[in-house]
Structure 1
Amino acid sequence: MSDAVKVKESMRAKVQRLAWASEVANSLKKEIDGLQASGSMIIPLEPGGWWHQYVCPQHHTELLFDPSVADAMQFHCPHGCMVEGAEYRGAWLVYKHQLLARIALQAAAVYAGLRDYAYAELSKQLIVAYAAQFPLYPVHPDAQPWMLKGRAFHQALTESIWSTTLIRAYVLLLDEGVVFSSDEQHKVDTFLHLLEQSMRAYRGILIHERNNAENNYTAWLNASLACVYAARGERHELEALVEAEGGFRHHLSIGVKPDQLEFEGSTYYHVFVLRAYMIFAEMAKRCDRDLYACEGSLGQSMRGMVEALVELADDQGVLPALHDGPMERLPYAREIAEVVELGLSHYAVEGLEPILREAYRQMGSADGSRCGLEALLYGATASIAIPSEALTKSRGSKLWPASGFVVGRQVDNPLSFLVDFGEHGGAHGHLDKLHLTLMHKDQTLTPDFGVVPYGSTLRPWFGETASHNTVSLGGKSQAEHTGLCMHFEQTEASTYAWLQSDAAYEGCRLNRHLLLTSDWLLDWFEVTLLSEDLQSIEWWMHPMVDPLSEELKELSFADKVQYPPIHIQPNLPDLPIVGRFFPEASNVSMKYVLMHGVQIHQTALMLPDQELLTVRTPGHSIDSSVPLTALLHRQSSKQASFIHVYRIGAGAMLGLIAKDHIGITADGRTTTVQLLPEKGLLIV
């Protein structure tokens, strides 16, 4: 039996066998009917621009996109702004073109599942219309100089992604026995030929002219070409692309670290590249080549990349927004759902269910059950309920030595942590070494905020050191560099990670020690300057909810004159200091109230010449116009120790026993911790 027949039977059988699949197929059918009734299913004759410019210049939020609108010249943000301009129009066109390609695939899937030929005809009409228009789009004259220029879009990258959606719709129709007339087929063939020429040319530029084969672009150019070859049944060409320089296997070897994370250290681009790999593998399977078990030269694999998502996610299934990428965005949620569904069906990886349910929640499912096109196309199981054994099974800690991340987890403690100490990440990296993400099993308290769309003027803020939970000097950001993991150990009693950076600032060494027990998390951050000059050493923390403390006093206007705002760089707004903690003793106690009433208590040890302040900052990358309150623990010195402890239920007390000894008292019990230069933290 051919793979095509298997696909056809599987889609029909899925809808007949699984109640959720029938429900989703009919929901997708209803969505298409509504769009057809709105008259919005005509492809634009203009090429798309750059989607990152679809962002409000005032609020820095992504502008709204209504799928039922046939054409638009005015664009609205969630806060009520209306903007006009060629760059917004071009970005809107990207959304429109991507939507119509998606509808082509959605209509093909509805036909495959429900056997209503009207949806096959709609899918075919959209495919042929784009195939006829594609030669008429120019090689984009308005693309920015750094871009590889596309026809239907500013970027060849966007074009490659869009093309895979169209071609997947085309091959699904072929699998279902839909016939294209000779004229229609000629248009499709011309489209495939031009697309192949473009993708081959762009690969040559990236791989040979720019010597940048590891770029995430390459994975998508490969995926687009794989779709072309599979659509035309060109097995030899696809096989050659698997083994070529910059091809599937080579890109897996150079674009993914040996510890299975994409080389830029970005969760978003990890999913982005993994999705391209899976599309390539899907097309290769059509040519009788199984790539699902393919490995790179150092053991990199798609399975390993899927397993890495399980280790990175918090207990709610939310993936951290490491380096560039959105914290939450509908198209991203769809991408996560696709790769996780495929991960479940091809690898049966344990622990994916929370990630999948969270993706579907972001896609609009109130309870996290399956919804949308990704579910119908790729979902294979009866449900995505989290197994009862998984609810009681605790994940252990994890070190990614090549990528430079460490996650600390401990049985019986709902708190956990993630630290970034690895490579900068290139164009998508942040100046954030030793950044701490503090998580509770119900909600992450101090996430990495990711980044707003690149067209926003506020984008630079999200890459600066001061926007992360780490240390800066004098308001200046760290240099691009790579930190070190000096020690990592997990025992039944505790998890300990010692991370170091000696290249963030000239003549400066940063050491962050994190000790997680079943009762608390200790964060001991040591800063040593080798120069003779005093520096303002700034320890930053950006919680998602405001700190509550009786010791926190709002600063008056006169006080604020004494506390000038923090200056980051000329193109970014200054950060006003809005409050100061006035402890009665050496401890500052505060708490954070999370969802479901959970309280995280934080205690800061206040050493001589230190002050703890609150600072108003831009919000997170979902909506940066809603400000947040950051903590700034600082000291002007050549050496500083910032010591904090976190605990659930009630706070702990910190006491300085000696310069390198502290006592942590909780529930009447005191634990003594010593910091030794060569050994790190020890419980004594």
Structure 2
Amino acid sequence: MRISEKLTNTTWAAPTLQALKAELDQLEASGSLHIPNEPGGWWHQYVCPTHHTELEFDPTERDAQVFLCPHGCRIEGDAYRGAWLVFKHQSMARVALQAAAVYAGTKEQAYADLAKRILVSYADQFPQYPVHPDAQPWMLKGRAFHQALTEAIWSTTLLRAYVLLQDEGITLNKIEQAALDMFLSMLESSMTQYRYILIHERKNAENNYTAWLNAALSCVYTIRGQREQLVDLIDSEGGWKHHLSIGVKPDQFEFEGSTYYHIFVLRAYLISAEMAERFGIDLYHAQGEQGQSMKGMFDVLVGLSDDQGVLPALHDGPLARVPFAREIAEIMEIGLAAYGNEAYAPILGEAYRQMDGERCRISLEALVYGEGNADLTGPMPGRSSLLLADSGFAVGRNPNNGLSFLVDFGPHGGSHGHYDKLHLSLQHQGGAFTPDLGMVPYGSSLRKEWFAETASHNTVSVGGKSQAIHEGRCKQFTESQDSVYAWLQSDAAYEGGLLERHLLLTDEWLLDWFEVNLNSEQTIDWWMHAIAAPEAIGGRWASIEGDAREILGSQESGYDRIELLGRYEPNARTGTEDTTSLLTVRYNLDNSESGTLYQSTVMFDREVDALYRVETPGTSVDPSKKLSGLLHRRNGRKVSFIHLYKLGSAPAVSWQSAAAYGGIGAGRIIIGDQQKRAVCELDAEQGLKVTWEEDNE
């Protein structure tokens, strides 16, 4: 649908057009629409070395040598300057697309001229850039940027602006056309060369780079009218169809298991599809060799999203940042128009909320790619549980319980993976309660020192070390009308060790039973990082006796980033049998209908078990804003961690040792009151066995 049609067919396009026009006028008046002569560097270095937050970028700034942290730090240096230049060049490409869109809506020549000026200026300048001398050795080097990848992304924005101008009847004069032709020729040459290196020399065709090199070349061939070359690009080794078959798992998730890179690759696919459609080629409904499709890639995001439309930051990727929100908005606008699934709307609305503070269409992404008048303000529709067996994620939901869970058991994720097998994210109606913390820009030391380590995830670490790179498995995943059960297993995280996590979600509570079996006695740490601080119920957080660093032991694998704030000391032993205790903590869930979350923990020996409140770096949005989480520590060779979660009120729970009822093994947990209770115990062959008992009197 053309922009002129949207102005009459939608309620939001006209005010959005005027807002975008006013923004361009402000940028023009500020004198900031200047293209630097220097090439860009690597944007991941645009991060404060003290606070580990992304530095601020102001598009109204013409030039910059000093770069500001949100906390007031003033940063200087060539690496930061190079990263700022990435943002500046990308911002100018976005202005070109915005100006083309405003022209399409207003027919005011000044905006077409602005878009042309930026396009031609870059076309003139591009040959002046050398192959980047400062790029890191592992990179495929670009000219306008350290990475050819960044160059491909930037070029597609510029070339989409040109295509939009073409659609509106704008042409270039001979001198301008000659500059553009040279730019296209050089871009084609470098993108083709790097495709060959990736696909044939490195045998790494599935790399997310490939999808973007394909997208850039698709734009080049479309502008030139080269249908044959585009068809070959789609059908050849490493081309669009082949990449879809090898870069996306059969369960429709990108092969690295990262939400960010899933969206990253899907966006590149959509650009290629947009260009192919101009030749009458439909890629929107094409499939890979195992049924992979772009629609499937959209639908899997619906399954992973929380109730508010927030996507989890699985493996590498930001928890939230405005440029990422723009990418989400772009793909969701296109997906909503192409497939009409209204379940995409809450994800789109959340992206706009992160961008502009409101769940409404007021951005460039809406004007260029959006259609229709879908309601973006509502929550996600009811969804069933989800198992991504190939990618290794499972989501448990119960329509009568505000709690849900997401657990990671699958492949490591390559260079973008974390040491996080059997990581658990808890969610409630207001959002994620124990989210995956996301990933800071790669220039931050915390990337490897904290956010990728096991201790930063809601799983188990052994001996003060992170897990090995490995792949776990799902032993069982069942969903019934009353409950969801997941049995996840890992036997390669630690040599000679077996980790098993059993999750049972009912209409009232969630049971998390984590078993660890080792070939020798070691210290075993169970971690939980929540967005709310735990409050001791029936006890207090006692000050730590002795040196906290010595108690933690390890000074590697992220342990040096952890502070011990207190050890749980109950006022009296509760739910006891032998030496067993039950400790309960409460969390206040701000701005949520869920209100309060209670967590009960089985402590098998108060003299040996320890439940600590810890302080750690915050989420990747701002690591300097500390989180207060839990560390449950036990020593042994065979160890159980049993935790129960319930919204609204503390669960009725007790532990019964096997000796008390003539059973075999550690024992069983009883959840509920005399009216209705669940008796849960583990069986080596069958997993978690649940018997429901009701008092019928």
Q: TM-score, normalised by structure 2?
A: 0.94
**2:474 aligned with 1:467, yes or no?**
no
**2:365 aligned with 1:358, yes or no?**
no
Question: What are the superposed Cα offsets for residues 449-508 of structure 1, whole Å, 9 maximum, x if unpaired?
Answer: 111000001111111000000000022000011101000000001000000000000000
- Aligned counterparts, 1:322-361, within 5 A: 322-361=314-353
Q: Which whole-Å CA distance do the structure 2 matches of 1:23 and 1:667 have between them?
A: 60
Give the deviation of 1:443 after TM superposition.
Answer: 2.0
Give the deviation of 1:578 after TM superposition.
Answer: 1.4
> Between Structure 1 and Structure 2, how many residues are aligned?
670
**Aligned letter for 1:458?**
L
The alignment partner of 2:591 has SS state of helix
User: Which of 10, 21, 36 pairs up with 1:29?
Assistant: 21
Give the deviation of 1:47 after TM superposition.
Answer: 0.1
Structure 2 partner of 1:682: 689
Structure 2 partner of 1:627: 626
The alignment partner of 2:12 has SS state of helix
Give the deviation of 1:394 after TM superposition.
Answer: 2.3
**2:582 aligned with 1:587, yes or no?**
yes
Structure 1 partner of 2:417: 429
> Which stretch shifts more, 113-122 or 159-168?
113-122
| Structure 1 residues 419 and 254: alpha-carbon distance in aligned structure 2, compared to 1, 3 A threshold | same
Structure 1 partner of 2:279: 287
Question: What are the superposed Cα offsets for residues 47-101 of structure 1, whole Å, 9 maximum, x if unpaired?
Answer: 0000000000000000000110000000000000001000000000000000000
The alignment partner of 2:551 has SS state of coil
Give the deviation of 1:210 after TM superposition.
Answer: 0.7
Structure 2 partner of 1:3: none
User: Which of 512, 515, 527 pairs up with 2:504?
Assistant: 515
Give the deviation of 1:630 after TM superposition.
Answer: 1.8
Contact 1:610 1:633 in 2 (8 A): yes
**2:564 aligned with 1:577, yes or no?**
yes
Q: Which whole-Å CA distance do the structure 1 matches of 2:156 and 2:548 have between them?
A: 57
User: Which of 361, 369, 388 pairs up with 1:378?
Assistant: 369
**2:572 aligned with 1:596, yes or no?**
no
Question: What are the superposed Cα offsets for residues 577-608 of structure 1, whole Å, 9 maximum, x if unpaired?
Answer: 11111132211111111123511111111112
| Structure 1 residues 451 and 416: alpha-carbon distance in aligned structure 2, compared to 1, 3 A threshold | same
Contact 1:605 1:654 in 2 (8 A): no
- What is the root-mean-square deviation of aligned Cα atoms in Å? 1.5
Contact 1:29 1:110 in 2 (8 A): yes
Q: Which whole-Å CA distance do the structure 2 matches of 1:418 and 1:561 have between them?
A: 32
Structure 1 partner of 2:643: 644
**2:474 aligned with 1:488, yes or no?**
no
- Aligned counterparts, 1:419-458, within 5 A: 419-458=407-446
Structure 2 partner of 1:16: 8
Contact 2:409 2:473 in 1 (8 A): yes
- Aligned counterparts, 1:390-429, within 5 A: 393-429=381-417
User: Which of 168, 187, 192 pairs up with 1:195?
Assistant: 187
Structure 2 partner of 1:122: 114
Q: Which whole-Å CA distance do the structure 1 matches of 2:435 and 2:673 have between them?
A: 26
Q: Which whole-Å CA distance do the structure 2 matches of 1:563 and 1:611 have between them?
A: 15
* Structure 2 unpaired stretches of 5+: 574-580, 659-665, 692-697
Q: Which whole-Å CA distance do the structure 2 matches of 1:542 and 1:292 have between them?
A: 40
Q: Which whole-Å CA distance do the structure 2 matches of 1:369 and 1:577 have between them?
A: 43
**2:134 aligned with 1:142, yes or no?**
yes
Contact 1:513 1:681 in 2 (8 A): yes
Q: TM-score, normalised by structure 1?
A: 0.96
User: Which of 584, 588, 606 pairs up with 2:603?
Assistant: 606
Q: Which whole-Å CA distance do the structure 1 matches of 2:468 and 2:407 have between them?
A: 18
Contact 1:566 1:575 in 2 (8 A): no
Contact 2:10 2:371 in 1 (8 A): no
Q: Which whole-Å CA distance do the structure 1 matches of 2:516 and 2:652 have between them?
A: 23
Give the deviation of 1:153 after TM superposition.
Answer: 0.1
Q: Which whole-Å CA distance do the structure 2 matches of 1:596 and 1:572 have between them?
A: 32
Give the deviation of 1:571 after TM superposition.
Answer: 8.2
| Structure 1 residues 232 and 572: alpha-carbon distance in aligned structure 2, compared to 1, 3 A threshold | farther
Contact 1:215 1:255 in 2 (8 A): yes
Contact 1:265 1:403 in 2 (8 A): yes
Structure 1 partner of 2:534: 547
Q: Which whole-Å CA distance do the structure 1 matches of 2:246 and 2:11 have between them?
A: 42
Structure 2 partner of 1:534: 521
> Which stretch shifts more, 160-169 or 597-606?
597-606
* Structure 1 unpaired stretches of 5+: 1-6
**2:473 aligned with 1:477, yes or no?**
no
Q: Which whole-Å CA distance do the structure 2 matches of 1:369 and 1:622 have between them?
A: 23
Q: Which whole-Å CA distance do the structure 2 matches of 1:383 and 1:512 have between them?
A: 40
Give the deviation of 1:616 after TM superposition.
Answer: 1.4
Q: Which whole-Å CA distance do the structure 1 matches of 2:618 and 2:416 have between them?
A: 20
**Aligned letter for 1:279?**
I
Give the deviation of 1:558 after TM superposition.
Answer: 4.2
Question: What are the superposed Cα offsets for residues 389-418 of structure 1, whole Å, 9 maximum, x if unpaired?
Answer: x87x52110100000000000121010000
Identity of aligned residues (%): 56
